[in-house]
A and B are shown apart, each in its own frame.
Chain A
Amino acid sequence: MEALDALLHGFGIALQPMNLLWGFIGVTLGTFIGVLPGVGPALTVAMLLPLTVKLDPTGALIMFAGIYYGAMFGGSTTTILLNTPGESASIATALEGNKMAKAGRAGPALATSAIGSFVAGTIATVLLTLVAPLVVDLALKFGPAEYFSLMVFAFITVSAVLGSSTVRGLTSLFLGLFLGIIGIDSQTGQARFAFGVPELLDGVDVVVLAVGLFAVGEALYVAAYQSRLTETMERMSGSIMMSAEDWKRSWPAWLRATAIGFPFGTIPAGGSEIPTFLSYAIEKKLSKHPEEFGNGAIEGVAGPEAANNAAATGVLVPLLTLGIPTSATAAILLGAFQNYGLQPGPLLFQSQTDLVWGLIASLYIGNIILLILNLPLIGIWVKVLSIPRDLLYAGILVFATLGAYSLHQSWVDLLTLYVFGLLGFAMRRWDIPVGPAVIGLILGPLAETQFRRALSISQGDATVFFTQPISATFLAITAALIVLPWVMRRFRRG
């Protein structure tokens, strides 16, 4: 088997002492920062991006995969003990997990979440290992027209189809697309919307946008609307051991959630939000104890947490094989690749075999390290939670500004950061999703390149997007996604 050979080779890379060390540092840092309330995986990855400037790409990306996974594990701890979901994918966990903690069952809640994340993460990584080479084979047949249509599909699903409002999702996407235009046009060298500012000629960096929206915006929002509220943290009391009954109720939920989470992660459906809610709904429906839901049912933690991790791994399939980020966190990870001049996609699997398979192998290792970090050592992370909020946000902003400043050593990037902070504040206050903006910034320039390449090949004939069968299929699905909900509403009404 080709995939197995490649994976074994990958383990050879990932188990090299330095790479193992980077992986370990990644998961530890990821867990530590992911535990901090109000810091989700996207911000964790964005804040730590500047750390890698001097590392070799393989080590750095192994570290980032660890940070990505670690932030996911750390986030569940916060959700269960504090009931402040760091990201939308944790809302389902918050429903039951925090209730369990209130009832003195924080230990089993944290355990089912950690073990479930491990089981789901590992199974999903096996699926990733098997599926990725197949997608790569398919993607090798893609030309610029196919890539462009696929990107349009991703744009529409993450902004228009999901979320509470189509128009606000699209507005966020177009803001991101506009920010992506700023700088030097890669095809002609023409400066666009840079207003002669040298820092803008390089384009808007994804770190500045993500950290501005997620860290500065969040700090401004929490300070303005929540800083005078008192928070209650549930105590970690009792044993973290799960009873036989807990096990019996947890493992089917883990497996079902993996089956839901992974496929949802691989399609551009905005990451983990839908699969976690879907898993929660299914567990509620199948449970023998439906009356416990809403009062701390263990399946309601086991399912969504496993679904979250399976989806997070699934997201890596389109990211690595096609270079298409389907969540804000994935877009920032793509930024990490780009910092090294690497473009994920089928060609990366051929030109950078060591890097890609070393990275995939490191996911298996990372899952094991995370299980160890999150079960016996859970007490340490609980202490991190008790950092007072004034010091916490002050510290977050010191790191946020460090990331922006280290780009050009210029205060202009700090001003940009503050402007994005104001934008993030407004977006949070008026419920405009931030994910589409981050994806638009990263994916927009790539989509433009593919669009212009496709037209160059066809000598300016725009029908090429509709006459190539694969490209036409993507566009047809996209059109169906926009039109169908509208038609169905009409149909129901009349």
Chain B
Amino acid sequence: MKARSPAEVALSLGVLALGIGVAAGTSMLPSEGGYAGIGPNFVPGVVGAGLVLLGGWLTYEALAGGWRGAPPDDPAERGEHAFHLPSFAWISIGLFAHMALIGTGGFVVAGVALFACVARGFGSARPVRDIAIALVLSLSVFVFFVKLLNVGLPAGWLAPLLGAAGI
């Protein structure tokens, strides 16, 4: 018995841990259920038990030759290139920058940051072009949502500018 892929083992144990977590959380929920005889803790208990069983089953498969029918670990066999960390990181940075900026900088600023980072992650080498396109896109979406749909979006740092433009 040799594990084919450490990642599969880790994911399997993750499912198992989640199941144990759900079961532990369930034990803190009340069980009184009126006429039905079951309370709000019954279904969480079933789901927790299910996740524990599935986690165990996945772990068994991962240790006994690997998950059945899973894609090959070698990216070339999948017709793909090796995991490219900078790309993955740029997209994550973009999403976190967006999270951090949307409350303060506003929708347009956060959108531009996200757009530029994601484009960079996909190999764009033209940040000025990306920012220009992002500005046009975010501004149009902002105007469309705020003016036409009456959905509030934060104006943030651009509030004085947008206000002066009548938006």
A pairs with B: yes
- Say whether chain A's binding surface is mostly helix, strand, loop, or mixed: helix
**Interface pair B43/A451, CB less than 8 Å apart:** yes
**Interface pair B54/A167, CB less than 8 Å apart:** yes
**Interface pair B50/A174, CB less than 8 Å apart:** yes
Within 8 A of B (CB), among A392-451: 393-395, 397-399, 401-402, 405-406, 409, 411, 414-415, 417-418, 421, 426, 429-431, 444, 448, 451
How distant is the Cα of A401 from the Cα of B91 in the complex, in angstroms?
13
**Interface pair B114/A398, CB less than 8 Å apart:** yes
Contact of B115 among A394, A421, A452, A457 (CB under 8 A): A394
Distance to closest chain B CB from A410 (angstroms) = 9
Residues of chain B with a CB closer than 8 A to A51's CB = 149
When A225-B84, A389-B122 are in contact, do A398 and B51 touch as well, CB less than 8 Å? no
**Interface pair A228/B123, CB less than 8 Å apart:** yes
**Interface pair B151/A220, CB less than 8 Å apart:** no
Residues of chain A with a CB closer than 8 A to B80's CB = 225-226, 229
Contact of A165 among B38, B47, B69, B88 (CB under 8 A): B69
Whether a CB of chain B sits under 8 angstroms from the CB of A227 is yes
- Among A174, A181, A411, max chain B CB count under 10 A is at A174
When A167-B54, A174-B54 are in contact, do A460 and B35 touch as well, CB less than 8 Å? yes
**Interface pair A216/B95, CB less than 8 Å apart:** yes
Whether a CB of chain A sits under 8 angstroms from the CB of B18 is yes
**Interface pair A430/B44, CB less than 8 Å apart:** no
- Among A228, A398, A431, max chain B CB count under 10 A is at A398
When A219-B91, A394-B114 are in contact, do A224 and B70 touch as well, CB less than 8 Å? no
**Interface pair B54/A220, CB less than 8 Å apart:** no
By beta carbon, the residue of chain A nearest B95 is A418
Residues of chain B with a CB closer than 8 A to A192's CB = 25, 29, 40, 44
By beta carbon, the residue of chain A nearest B111 is A398
By beta carbon, the residue of chain A nearest B62 is A430
**Interface pair A398/B83, CB less than 8 Å apart:** no
Contact of B84 among A227, A409, A457 (CB under 8 A): A227
How distant is the Cα of A224 from the Cα of B55 in the complex, in angstroms?
27
Contact of A429 among B39, B54, B57, B71 (CB under 8 A): B71
How distant is the Cα of A418 from the Cα of B96 in the complex, in angstroms?
8
**Interface pair B115/A406, CB less than 8 Å apart:** no
Whether a CB of chain A sits under 8 angstroms from the CB of B3 is no
Whether a CB of chain B sits under 8 angstroms from the CB of A153 is no
**Interface pair B122/A171, CB less than 8 Å apart:** no
How distant is the Cα of A448 from the Cα of B36 in the complex, in angstroms?
12
- In this complex, how many residues of chain A approach chain B with their Cβ under 8 Å: the count is 67
Whether a CB of chain B sits under 8 angstroms from the CB of A351 is no
How distant is the Cα of A205 from the Cα of B102 in the complex, in angstroms?
20
By beta carbon, the residue of chain A nearest B12 is A171
When A167-B57, A181-B47, A229-B81 are in contact, do A220 and B40 touch as well, CB less than 8 Å? no
Whether a CB of chain B sits under 8 angstroms from the CB of A162 is no
How distant is the Cα of A411 from the Cα of B152 in the complex, in angstroms?
15
**Interface pair A430/B7, CB less than 8 Å apart:** yes
**Interface pair A431/B141, CB less than 8 Å apart:** no
Residues of chain A with a CB closer than 8 A to B55's CB = 171
- Binary CB contact string for chain B from 114 to 143 against chain A (1 if under 8 A, 0 otherwise): 111011111110000010011001100100
Whether a CB of chain A sits under 8 angstroms from the CB of B99 is yes
How distant is the Cα of A451 from the Cα of B87 in the complex, in angstroms?
46
**Interface pair B137/A448, CB less than 8 Å apart:** no
- Binary CB contact string for chain A from 180 to 217 against chain B (1 if under 8 A, 0 otherwise): 01000101101011000000000000000000000010
The 3 closest A-B pairs by CB, nearest first: A460-B37, A390-B122, A455-B36
- 4 additional A-B residue pairs with CB within 8 Å, beyond A225-B84, A390-B120, A401-B110: A192-B25, A391-B124, A451-B43, A456-B36
- B residues apposed to A, CB below 8 Å: 7-8, 11, 15, 18, 22, 25, 29-30, 33-40, 42-44, 47-48, 50-51, 54-55, 57-58, 61, 67-71, 75, 78, 80-81, 83-85, 87-88, 90-92, 94-96, 98-100, 102-103, 107, 110-111, 114-116, 118-124, 130, 133-134, 137-138, 141, 145, 149-154
13 A-B residue pairs with Cβ-Cβ distance under 8 Å, sorted by A, are A54-B150, A167-B57, A175-B18, A192-B44, A223-B84, A225-B78, A225-B81, A388-B124, A391-B119, A394-B134, A395-B137, A452-B38, A460-B38
